[in-house]
Structure 1
């Protein structure tokens, strides 16, 4: 305040800058302090000083309003107001990269200053008399003021006056076209219009006296913006969002005042479609060939039309569908189905699959299918959508959803056959296929279709070339997961045997390959593809019967190949990651699918194979030098391996006492190498990579609960490392990790194996809890201390 009250301009400038930097610092959490400490400080600043700082910014803006030479001061003052209004009032930590700022929870102590019409008006005045960035930041302040919570106002009268000031200010900007030629102003103005409908109901808007002028000017502004799509494309989103929310509110409008939306919405819709067509024609002019240019334009225009039709049909999910709407949807959908019959035929079509415009068109078709399926495909949809299917039957001969489903699957098969290198189209095609196969009834319907049975019988690269593309290997997992779901819907071991025959050939090729040729690029691609296929197929097993088919096929005939691959390819993450992820899926006992007979040794045999894989990988990887990219070449393989062991130990399908009884080293060897891998990673790196941290602490949880002796009897150095890692983990912001650690500590403290290590653990625990207690808010500290005392007594009793 002393700086601000000095006579010189320089002191005034410094005073404003100090306040700007002070608020900026209050937004930033100190990495050396707990988050709760930061929030405590920020909340104290909010309650004691923030309102005063905001009042200083407003006073400064009024003093500087007529000072043409004070641009630097105006910039500091408007920036200070914006920082005050952008303050994280309730600690929600909104994502700053998001455009949706939500409702601003301004404290009640701000009520008088917010309700004062002069507060809103000062920012409209500054917008009118300045240029960017001051004018655009003035609008940004208004966006935030338009977003204040409804409950802040004393009553509806005050809130209505507040809305009127915004509508009058935004109307005047449009009437006089103030500053909208500058893109920064234009963008923030569009955001401001969008916030008015987000925070106010349509009934409140139409009751404002100037609503008629306001909605007319906004409609004209929207249509002009759509015509200038090249310049305004990034901002039109907010205008379309405004009109979308206005239209969706009409059903709830209970005011006698007309909304006038019937007059403007059709014009805006037409302008939008025309603008999309213009954008395609403009892009097509850059094509080298006239024929190619024409075809590219047509495909681009059709892409936009199909997206629009899909959007119309998707809207039926959130609104009641009348018979007339079904007829309209039938008319629109019939045109799409007619297009599908044409677009994949003709001698020219093969070359088009490499064209981006053709790929966009196919992506639009897939989105249309997804929307149409959700609304009009299924037993329930069939009975409630008679008018649509009557119309489709008249126009294109599609009488029911089974026929439509067949067309969808044929398009899926066509995409998978024709596209080799378009990862995006293949991925979206497989996502649609998986969505169709996910439901029990829809899956049963799919099995009746010839196209699906063709895919199940011919899932090789000869029929689906994308399987032979190295860049599409990730898609193979989803492909075989979907096929596996369909395959396992029928209880047919003979069909399973026929299905895995192509995979069996790959196994045999690899098993018969001599060591001299096992490091070739051909073998590498074959291994990666096979492991991804196996993982997808195993993911599809969700019962004892289906898992048993896969297990009996792989064990004991083929499991030895996994260790051989590890021994030859440990230094190649592209090979190791698919193999280890398959093993992690293979040992996962989800839905109790690994339920072997009581007399069966399969659970023990499976763990022995898992132990071989873990020991083979861990032994080799720990002997290799650390690369410049430790996560890719070391940590990633280790966390997947730890996940494999964790799932095997927690699967509840192995009696681990058998190993000690018969002197089998499978369990002890796996635990030993897993702990060595864990100890090889610095604790800082463990917490730096979330997946690694979860795998590490997940293993510790299983060990602390079910294999306590392993932890308790460690060497001093290893024991201290693990206890130190618990301290690191307790300070983690990941709740799943910190809760695991509390569980680990309790399991260790309450174990019934007294030892010197346990007493040392108790001392460490007391120190850790004291550190944690210092970070807990005072109101919760008493309860925490009470629980901690009980905890200690429980340990001492044991």
Structure 2
């Protein structure tokens, strides 16, 4: 205040600069201190000083309003006001004026200054008399003021006056075309218009006296912006959002005042479609070939039309009306898309188009249309409630019901999978649609009746679907076989399963017969990666004892030995190891109790023995290799997947582990020993640095502490201390799932162990943990942890 009260301009500037820096620092968390410390400091500053600083910014703006030579001072003053309005009022460290949040929680102590009409007007005045960045920041201040919570106002009268000031100010800007030639101003102005509808109902807008002029000017501005799409493409989003919300509110409008939307929305819609066509034509001019240019333009225009039709049909999901006229309109639009599908994949010229980006975009649009159409109009319930649509489709294109439509969709899926080799995006979206169809019980049953689906189930090889032979599409193979597996397992038919896995059986036989000298070839590498991804997808599809049994009986004991052989030859190649280990992690996972073997069956024990062989083989070799420059890819990733395999096998509840010790079988002890060696080989800092690694490590410790406590207690002192130290590190983790696991680990380990020197070391560690909890755990969890750990300490001393 001493600086601000000095006569000189320099002192005034320094005073504003200090306040700007102060708020910026109060708003920023200190990386060296806990988040709770930042929140406490920021909230204290908000309550004690922030309002006064905002008042200083407003006073400064009024003093400088007519000072043409004070541009630097104006810039500091407007920046100070913006920082005040952008403050983290509720301590969430989020931008509270973003589109997702909607409102900012200005404290009630600000009510008088916010309700004062002069507060809003000063920013409109500054916008009118200045240039960017001052003018654009003035609009940004208005965006935040327009986001003020409804409950701040004294009553509806005050809130109505507040809205009128915004509508009048935004109307005047359009009426006099103030500053909209500068892009910074234009963008913030679009945000301001969008914010008005977010925080105010349509009924409130139409009751304002100047609503007619305001909506007309906004409509004209929107259409002009759509015409200037090259310049305004990043800002039109806010305008379209405004009109979308306006239209959505019409159904709830109970005011006698007309909304006038029927006059303007059709014009805006037409302008939008025209702007999309213009954008495609503009892009097509750069093509070297006239024929290619024309075809590219047509494909681009069709792409936009299909996206728009899909959006219209999707809108039926959120529509509160179900009139027959809407179904007829949807039928007319959908019929055009289905007609296009019949011709777009035919013709001698079309083969070359699959490598063209415009053709790929068109097919992506078709897939999105299918997704929207399926959700609204495919299914037993939709069929009975959508008679008018199917009557219209039957008249225009001969599609009388949803089964026929589903056949068209599956044929397109098959076409995409056959024709596209290297477009990972199209293949991925096609498989996502296929999986979505197969996921539903009724839609899955309908798929099995279609010839196209049965063809895919009988011919799922690279000869028919070339994308399976592309190394870049290996990730898609898992989803492909997951979907096929879901369809396959809907019927109880072992003969169909045997026929389905015949192509995979051939790959197994080829690899098993391959001599060691040729086992490191690139052909073998690709075959292994593809096979492991296929097996993982197929295993993911098993969700019952019956279906899992089919896969298990096929693989064991005939083919499981191949997995160890692959590990022995390819441990140094993550591209091979990752799919193999992830398949094993899925194979041992007892989800939905699918690994429920008979009480007299040794299959659970036999499965664990094979798992042990895989873990020992991988762990022994990987620990003997030199550390790579990329330790996560070449070491940590394989280790965390291996730890996950062992954790799932130990916690699956399908193995009686006492059998191993009874018969002198080393499978359990060997697996545990090598797993602990791998765990101890990773520095604790790295364990916590990689989330997946941390969860796998602490997940294994949880299982060991609960069910295999002796393994932990009987470790050598150095290894024991390392594990206890890791628990201390883990309790400081911000991942609550990890810190909760560790509490469980400590409790199980201490209360089940015998008094020893190790217990005393744990007690000393525990004292440190108690002190750490209060400093590191977030406020919402701190009390719970403190209470639990205190109880834990008393129980420990009692034992």
Shared fold (TM-score, shorter chain, > 0.5): yes
Residues in 2 aligned to 1:296 and 1:713: alpha-carbon distance in whole angstroms: 71
- 48-57 vs 450-459, which moves further: 48-57
Residues in 1 aligned to 2:462 and 2:783: alpha-carbon distance in whole angstroms: 66
Indicate how the Cα distance of structure 1 residues 605 and 784 shifts in structure 2: closer, same or farther if over 3 A, else same: closer
Q: 1:97 aligned to 2:97?
A: yes
Indicate how the Cα distance of structure 1 residues 143 and 709 shifts in structure 2: closer, same or farther if over 3 A, else same: same
2:380 maps to 379
- 512-521 vs 73-82, which moves further: 73-82
Q: What are the residue-to-residue correspondences of 1:250-261 with 2, within 5 Å?
A: 250-261=250-261
1:132–1:184 CA contact under 8 A, matched in 2: yes
Alpha-carbon distance, 1:776 to partner: 6.4
Alpha-carbon distance, 1:364 to partner: 0.5
Alpha-carbon distance, 1:448 to partner: 0.3
- 604-613 vs 718-727, which moves further: 718-727
2:478–2:536 CA contact under 8 A, matched in 1: yes
Indicate how the Cα distance of structure 1 residues 113 and 753 shifts in structure 2: closer, same or farther if over 3 A, else same: same
2:701–2:745 CA contact under 8 A, matched in 1: yes
Alpha-carbon distance, 1:753 to partner: 3.0
Indicate how the Cα distance of structure 1 residues 238 and 334 shifts in structure 2: closer, same or farther if over 3 A, else same: same
Alpha-carbon distance, 1:28 to partner: 2.2
Alpha-carbon distance, 1:797 to partner: 2.2
Alpha-carbon distance, 1:10 to partner: 2.3
Residues in 2 aligned to 1:100 and 1:229: alpha-carbon distance in whole angstroms: 25
Indicate how the Cα distance of structure 1 residues 8 and 784 shifts in structure 2: closer, same or farther if over 3 A, else same: same
Alpha-carbon distance, 1:37 to partner: 1.7
Residues in 1 aligned to 2:743 and 2:171: alpha-carbon distance in whole angstroms: 59
1:722-747 superposed Cα distances (whole Å, 9 cap, x missing partner): 22222222222212111111211221
Alpha-carbon distance, 1:784 to partner: 6.2
1:31-62 superposed Cα distances (whole Å, 9 cap, x missing partner): 22222222111111111111111111111211
2:623–2:678 CA contact under 8 A, matched in 1: yes
Indicate how the Cα distance of structure 1 residues 148 and 579 shifts in structure 2: closer, same or farther if over 3 A, else same: same
Alpha-carbon distance, 1:780 to partner: 8.9
Alpha-carbon distance, 1:602 to partner: 0.8
1:61–1:77 CA contact under 8 A, matched in 2: yes
1:323-365 superposed Cα distances (whole Å, 9 cap, x missing partner): 1111111111001000000000000000000011110000000
Alpha-carbon distance, 1:91 to partner: 2.0
Alpha-carbon distance, 1:758 to partner: 2.0
RMSD (Å) for aligned C-alpha atoms: 1.6
2:713–2:753 CA contact under 8 A, matched in 1: no
Indicate how the Cα distance of structure 1 residues 361 and 179 shifts in structure 2: closer, same or farther if over 3 A, else same: same
1:37–1:775 CA contact under 8 A, matched in 2: no
Give structure 1 regions of 4+ aligned residues with deviation exceeding 3 angstroms: 95-101, 774-789
1:216-248 superposed Cα distances (whole Å, 9 cap, x missing partner): 000000000000001111110100000000000
Alpha-carbon distance, 1:253 to partner: 0.4
Indicate how the Cα distance of structure 1 residues 783 and 279 shifts in structure 2: closer, same or farther if over 3 A, else same: closer
- 744-753 vs 316-325, which moves further: 744-753
Alpha-carbon distance, 1:775 to partner: 4.8
Alpha-carbon distance, 1:796 to partner: 1.9
Residues in 2 aligned to 1:728 and 1:172: alpha-carbon distance in whole angstroms: 60
1:571-621 superposed Cα distances (whole Å, 9 cap, x missing partner): 111111111111110110000001111111111111111111111111111
1:749–1:762 CA contact under 8 A, matched in 2: no
Indicate how the Cα distance of structure 1 residues 449 and 95 shifts in structure 2: closer, same or farther if over 3 A, else same: farther
1:36–1:776 CA contact under 8 A, matched in 2: no
Alpha-carbon distance, 1:452 to partner: 0.1
2:773–2:782 CA contact under 8 A, matched in 1: no
Alpha-carbon distance, 1:778 to partner: 9.1
Alpha-carbon distance, 1:481 to partner: 0.1
- 722-731 vs 200-209, which moves further: 722-731
Alpha-carbon distance, 1:787 to partner: 4.6
| Secondary structure of 1:101 counterpart | coil
Indicate how the Cα distance of structure 1 residues 524 and 241 shifts in structure 2: closer, same or farther if over 3 A, else same: same
Indicate how the Cα distance of structure 1 residues 37 and 368 shifts in structure 2: closer, same or farther if over 3 A, else same: same
Alpha-carbon distance, 1:488 to partner: 0.2
Residues in 1 aligned to 2:61 and 2:124: alpha-carbon distance in whole angstroms: 12
Residues in 2 aligned to 1:464 and 1:750: alpha-carbon distance in whole angstroms: 58
2:96–2:102 CA contact under 8 A, matched in 1: no
Alpha-carbon distance, 1:719 to partner: 1.8
Alpha-carbon distance, 1:287 to partner: 0.9
1:646–1:702 CA contact under 8 A, matched in 2: yes
1:296–1:357 CA contact under 8 A, matched in 2: yes
2:96–2:103 CA contact under 8 A, matched in 1: no
Q: What are the residue-to-residue correspondences of 1:294-333 with 2, within 5 Å?
A: 294-321=294-321, 322-333=323-334
- 395-404 vs 737-746, which moves further: 737-746
| Secondary structure of 1:29 counterpart | coil
1:274 maps to 274
Residues in 2 aligned to 1:655 and 1:6: alpha-carbon distance in whole angstroms: 84
| Secondary structure of 2:752 counterpart | coil
Alpha-carbon distance, 1:134 to partner: 1.2
Alpha-carbon distance, 1:706 to partner: 1.1
1:114 maps to 114
1:712–1:758 CA contact under 8 A, matched in 2: no
1:710-729 superposed Cα distances (whole Å, 9 cap, x missing partner): 22222222222222222222
- 172-181 vs 8-17, which moves further: 8-17
Gaps of 5+ in 2: none
2:339–2:397 CA contact under 8 A, matched in 1: yes
Residues in 2 aligned to 1:362 and 1:163: alpha-carbon distance in whole angstroms: 46
Q: What is the count of residue pairs matched by the alignment? A: 798
2:728–2:765 CA contact under 8 A, matched in 1: no
2:153–2:159 CA contact under 8 A, matched in 1: yes
- 140-149 vs 456-465, which moves further: 140-149
Q: What are the residue-to-residue correspondences of 1:412-491 with 2, within 5 Å?
A: 412-491=413-492
1:148 maps to 148
Residues in 2 aligned to 1:71 and 1:721: alpha-carbon distance in whole angstroms: 62
1:413–1:455 CA contact under 8 A, matched in 2: yes
Indicate how the Cα distance of structure 1 residues 605 and 787 shifts in structure 2: closer, same or farther if over 3 A, else same: closer
Alpha-carbon distance, 1:100 to partner: 4.0
Alpha-carbon distance, 1:756 to partner: 2.1
Indicate how the Cα distance of structure 1 residues 648 and 776 shifts in structure 2: closer, same or farther if over 3 A, else same: closer
Alpha-carbon distance, 1:92 to partner: 2.4
Residues in 2 aligned to 1:130 and 1:57: alpha-carbon distance in whole angstroms: 17
Indicate how the Cα distance of structure 1 residues 497 and 131 shifts in structure 2: closer, same or farther if over 3 A, else same: same
- 53-62 vs 164-173, which moves further: 53-62
Indicate how the Cα distance of structure 1 residues 163 and 489 shifts in structure 2: closer, same or farther if over 3 A, else same: same
1:57–1:77 CA contact under 8 A, matched in 2: yes
1:410-437 superposed Cα distances (whole Å, 9 cap, x missing partner): 0000000000000000000000000000
| Secondary structure of 1:733 counterpart | coil
Residues in 1 aligned to 2:12 and 2:100: alpha-carbon distance in whole angstroms: 34
1:190–1:236 CA contact under 8 A, matched in 2: yes
Indicate how the Cα distance of structure 1 residues 166 and 704 shifts in structure 2: closer, same or farther if over 3 A, else same: same
Residues in 1 aligned to 2:708 and 2:250: alpha-carbon distance in whole angstroms: 63
- 583-592 vs 671-680, which moves further: 671-680
Indicate how the Cα distance of structure 1 residues 693 and 781 shifts in structure 2: closer, same or farther if over 3 A, else same: closer
| Secondary structure of 1:306 counterpart | helix
Residues in 2 aligned to 1:659 and 1:11: alpha-carbon distance in whole angstroms: 83
Indicate how the Cα distance of structure 1 residues 655 and 466 shifts in structure 2: closer, same or farther if over 3 A, else same: same
Alpha-carbon distance, 1:441 to partner: 0.8
Indicate how the Cα distance of structure 1 residues 15 and 726 shifts in structure 2: closer, same or farther if over 3 A, else same: farther
| TM-score (structure 1 length as normaliser) | 0.98
Indicate how the Cα distance of structure 1 residues 276 and 780 shifts in structure 2: closer, same or farther if over 3 A, else same: closer
1:757 maps to 758
Residues in 1 aligned to 2:16 and 2:752: alpha-carbon distance in whole angstroms: 61
Residues in 1 aligned to 2:379 and 2:510: alpha-carbon distance in whole angstroms: 43
Residues in 1 aligned to 2:179 and 2:677: alpha-carbon distance in whole angstroms: 66
Alpha-carbon distance, 1:516 to partner: 1.0
Residues in 1 aligned to 2:214 and 2:228: alpha-carbon distance in whole angstroms: 21
